[in-house]
Amino acid sequence: MSGSLFITSGSLFIVSKTKFIEPEASLRYCKFLSNRKNGMKRYIVNAQVLSTLRSWAATDCSSTIVIKGASLRLPAQCQDFGADLIECAKGSNIPLIWALEAAPRDDRDRISSAVDILKYLVFQILKINSNTLPRELNATTFRSPGTENEWFLWLTALLSTLPRVIIVVDSALLGERLEGDIAWIDAFSRVFNDLKGRDSPTIVKVVLLNSEISDIKSDYTTLRLQASKGKVDGRGNIAINRKKAQRGFRATLRGAR
């Protein structure tokens, strides 16, 4: 990620814009796509789904939840869920960072590696909390290419400056290019343990969309969405269900603060 950095009086400022699309722009794009869908491409949320989400969010410790679509052929359901969850979480006063798909014709560089995603998340935290920089980090750190493990360490250091944060990542961003992407569950588990080792009270809630489950050692929660049946009827049942889901998201997140 390109960008000039300098430190003044303990504050870190990002002078030039990053090469990736602004997070808000990617959210608007995902919501645009979601609003154009109908029928079985949409997800629905029932009481069991909300209960799973509520239990995960309300637990007073860092944890990961994996969101899966009704089938592998419907990854857009997870994207819609992620966009709705982010939109609802924005009103909860909990710091929120995310990595979602961008418009195909956007002229900025695309996320093409795991390191790109980590850089994207790190720079969002810097924008949220630029006044507190851990000792081990400086401008040189962020100019370094760094490995995936190093960026996870830098992400951990910055997360320790926040009391609570929600991270939403769409694993479909990388597709087959991120071989074994589900290892991120284990990587985030190490982040949680590292935060404890720092005696940091930070609580991190990670949402992984469209992740394939394989050989994972760490604990996580799985939430599988249900597909809507048929098209929206004259009463707008699917749209109504979505509004109910969003109200449920907001209530869940308020209870988790």
**SS3 labels along 137-199:** CCHHHHHCCCCHHHHHHHHHHHHCCCCEEEEEEEHHHCHHHCCCCCHHHHHHHHHHHHHHHCC
Provide the sign of the torsion angle of the four alpha carbons 118, 167, 205, 162, taken in this order. positive
Confidence band of 230 (pLDDT split at 50, 70, 90): low
Helix/strand/coil percentages in the chain, nearest 5: 45, 15, 40
Single-letter residue type at 6:
F
What's the average model confidence in pLDDT over 58-64? 91
**What are the CA-CA distances from residue 257 to residues 94, 165, 204 (Å)?**
7, 10, 12
Residue 27 above 80 pLDDT? yes
Provide, rounded to the nearest whole percent, the portion of the chain with pLDDT above 70: 64
Closest by alpha carbon to 12, among 134, 182, 148, 149? Answer: 134
pLDDT at 200: 93
In this structure, are residues 164 and 94 in contact, taking their beta carbons and an 8 Å threshold? yes
Residue 123: both structure tokens together: 């720079």
What's the average model confidence in pLDDT over 234-239? 48
Non-local (6+) Cβ contacts of 228 within 8 A are: 39, 40, 41, 42, 43, 44, 238, 241
Phi, psi of 219 (to 5 degrees): -80, 145
Residue 65 above 90 pLDDT? yes
Closest by alpha carbon to 241, among 82, 38, 32, 33? Answer: 38
pLDDT at 201: 93
Confidence band of 15 (pLDDT split at 50, 70, 90): very low
Residue 190 above 90 pLDDT? yes
Residue 246: both structure tokens together: 């969003």
Residue 245: both structure tokens together: 């889901």
CA 168 to chain centre: 1
pLDDT at 193: 95
**Weakest-pLDDT range from 13-27, 100-114, 138-152, 236-250:** 236-250
Residue 217: both structure tokens together: 């050692």
Residue scoring higher pLDDT (177 or 255): 255
SS3 224: strand
DSSP designation for 56: H
Q: CB atoms < 10 A from the CB of 176, how many?
A: 6
On average, the pLDDT of the chain sits at 75
Confidence band of 79 (pLDDT split at 50, 70, 90): confident
What's the average model confidence in pLDDT over 197-222? 85
Residue scoring higher pLDDT (210 or 130): 210
Confidence band of 213 (pLDDT split at 50, 70, 90): low
CA gap 246, 226 in Å, rounded: 15
